[in-house]
Amino acid sequence: MHLSEARQQLGLFQHHDAVTGTSKLYVMSDYAERLFRGIKGAHSVIAHVMQYLQSVRKPNYQPPPDQTSYDKGYHQDQIPFTTYLQMSEKRISFDTLPIRVGLHLGPSRIDDLAGQTSTKRTAKVVVFNSHASEVQEAIRVHVTGPVQKVVGPNGRELEFQLNPVWGYSAELPTNLYELLFIAELAPLSTTTFEVVRQAVSEKSRTPATRIRLFLSDSWEKDSPEGEKPTLSNGHLFNFETSDDEDIRMTNGNIHVVFNRSTGLLQSVNGRTISMSFGAYRSAEFHSGAYLFRPNPMEPRHNVTGRFPVIRLVRGPLMSELIVVYPDTVMQRARVYHKAPGRAALTAGIELETSFDLSARHDFLEMYMTFESDVASGQEFFTDSAGFEILRRLRNDLLPVEANYYPMTEAVFIQDDSSRLTLLADHAHGVTSSKPGHLEVMLDRKLRFDDSRGLGEGIMDNRHTRSRFWLLMEIRDQNRLDKTISSERQEISLLSRSGHRLATMLNFPPVIMQSLPTGLSRMVHGEIRFLAEPLPCDVHLLNIRTLPEEAGTDATYNHPSLDRALLVLQSRAADCSITVSPNNPLNCGTQKSERGVFFSNVTVTSIQRTTLTGTMPNGEEVSPKNLRVDPHELESFIITFGKSNYNNGVESNNNNHSIHKKMSIPTTTTTQITV
């Protein structure tokens, strides 16, 4: 029921006046409330399903006679439909940003399969990877105390980093910290990690995170016209710091420099990439919900102010620069340190931009810009709904609004030797107003209507967060297609790193954590739903239940128990693009010898069908021949046989418990059907 409601609310939100925001305020609030209700229902389903799959059945356990069938084989206090997992983030209402829930590191009593007990200050983090390939994800959770160690499903201790929890103010909570660790996640799997709290008498095993906090005058180098510093040395105030050098971060693949005065990006690998924020002024009754028509007579507006608060965090896994322009923008820039298996994470700069125009003046259309030395000429490239890349040509004879185009997940500019790529987690309007320039629209606040039918302006601004990845990539001249002139190359492709990061950005892992009441639960360390990864150029777009077949009281509220719709997308990559000569993300497809196989379940048939699965064409294919043509979406109806999954009661000789190391009774190779 919850899943059906979530799909219905999502479908309702696809209305052309909902997803575009071109409805009246009270109508948009109703759309948002319905979508919020659907998301909460989906989170509830995820919590119950995850804990059901993670629960370990106790051998020789005899349930009481009155215990229901779905509880049989579990601990008396471990009923699967009793919630003891929660999402790591919660959202209070539709118009607030998600906030992380503190992971309670309290004492727990662990019951293992042998009946032995131990007491530790520990908690569990369960991560679901929805990708059909192995990924390395940066997992962030808030913890209520210092951490002694993080243990993976194989009993190996993971390197971690403990960061302060920052907001817009400089205040630091004393009982809440951000825990960061890099998780290697198997394809389509759930993985459990144990977090152990540091005792008072114990010393930390990880290097302490280094922090610098300072104020700056962002107008020291570039003062807005008419606003000049008043002191003889060019400063309004003398901010005393240990050095006057720009801020630098490096990881072996990239070398990043940030402007010390503004705290914003200045260069990558020696190439100029200057980042800034600004806003267009709009004339009355010109810009609105439908139209974007900035006033050409008004100069661009400085929305960030003058005195940013800059925080620099350096740790063993990541360096982060946090820049706060009070009441407007908070920018986080992260560079992950190089390590084996982190090719995607170390390929670029992760940007997280939070902004709020609700308290600002009206008639502002806020944007973020990157000015580089890339000789891109008049062309730039945007994606179309994540399926293809389209070449755009700037017309300098037309105003800026005529050169804006939609970007769903990627935009880039390039020349013969380099490419500057920006990946986003949701749609934006973008343009390139001059060579080497990228401009991304962030938010708009407009009081007046644009006379296109809405009857009101855009005044319902909320605190908003946008996430990006910025890549400075190298074009290999030896792999460029010399037979096609640059003027005729209207279609291009993302690089392998670009595809990987865009997928990670738009399909993040589902992170759940244990409640204090669930600390003694026995869980599996890892559950795999695929026998082996899909080829690296194939993306698992969706796998969902289907309704019962015709003639069996088909209804969307009664899903089939043995049929599912599998949707795959083929994504080709530009093999001439690399992040650096040392980047291990190579190009080309990786063929699977076995095809698509799910773990511990029999697939009786695979049938090609239409995209929505409503009209099978009768063509049956084998798992080895389950191929998707480049740039295509393909749907298949999969019919399953009997499941071999036993919730951990029976195990093969390769399964083993590691609860003595990590205080979580768990099996490392347990696999399950979907």
Residue 10 lies inside a defined structural domain of this protein: no
Same domain flag for 79 and 132? yes
CA distance 510 to 88: 9
- Residues, the chain, total? 674
- As a dihedral over the C-alpha atoms of residue 345, residue 341, residue 176, residue 241, rounded to 10 degrees, the angle is -60
Domain containing 85 — which CATH number? 2.60.40.1180
Tokens of residue 512, six digits:
């759940």
Does the pLDDT at position 176 exceed 50?
Answer: yes
CA distance 253 to 654: 38
Axis-axis angle for helices 25-54, 2-13 (nearest 10):
150
What 8-state DSSP symbol labels residue 387? T
Q: What is the pLDDT of residue 666?
A: 34
Same domain flag for 133 and 250? no
Residue 585 lies inside a defined structural domain of this protein: no
Same domain flag for 475 and 520? no
Same domain flag for 266 and 176? no
**Most confidently modeled range among 211-225, 588-602, 634-648:** 634-648
Same domain flag for 371 and 514? no
Q: What is the pLDDT of residue 107?
A: 60
615 or 588, which is more confident:
615
Same domain flag for 214 and 204? no
pLDDT class of 77 with cuts at 50, 70, 90? very low
| Sheet strands (E) in 28-116 | 85-87, 89-90, 99-100, 102-103, 107-111
Give 41's contacts (C-beta < 8 A, 6+ positions apart): 1, 2, 3, 5, 6
| Phi and psi at residue 49, to the nearest 5° | -65, -45
Same domain flag for 266 and 395? yes
Tokens of residue 567, six digits:
């949707």
Tokens of residue 542, six digits:
């969706």
Nearest C-alpha neighbor of 461 from the set 617, 357, 536, 343 = 357
Same domain flag for 440 and 563? no
Residue 195 lies inside a defined structural domain of this protein: yes
Model pTM? 0.87
Does the pLDDT at position 115 exceed 50?
Answer: no
Residue 26 lies inside a defined structural domain of this protein: no
Residue 423 lies inside a defined structural domain of this protein: yes
Domain containing 610 — which CATH number? 2.60.40.1360
pLDDT in tens, 236-274: 566 656 566 789 999 988 999 999 889 999 999 999 999
Number of Cβ within 10 Å of residue 507's Cβ equals: 16
Can you tell me the mean pLDDT for 2-16?
A: 91
577 or 37, which is more confident:
37
Same domain flag for 183 and 234? no
Same domain flag for 249 and 269? yes
What is the number of structural domains in the chain? 3
Tokens of residue 368, six digits:
């973020």
Residue 177 lies inside a defined structural domain of this protein: yes
300 or 434, which is more confident:
434
Same domain flag for 487 and 522? no
Q: Could you tell me what percent of the chain has a pLDDT over 90?
A: 50
pLDDT in tens, 402-446: 999 999 999 999 999 999 999 999 999 999 999 999 999 999 999
Pairing of strands 102-103, 135-143: parallel
Domain containing 435 — which CATH number? 2.70.98.30
Is residue 315 helix, strand or coil? Answer: coil
Sign, CA dihedral 358-361-366-369, equals negative
Same domain flag for 485 and 611? no
Lowest mean pLDDT among 72-76, 348-352, 668-672: 668-672
Domain of 564? 538-571+601-643
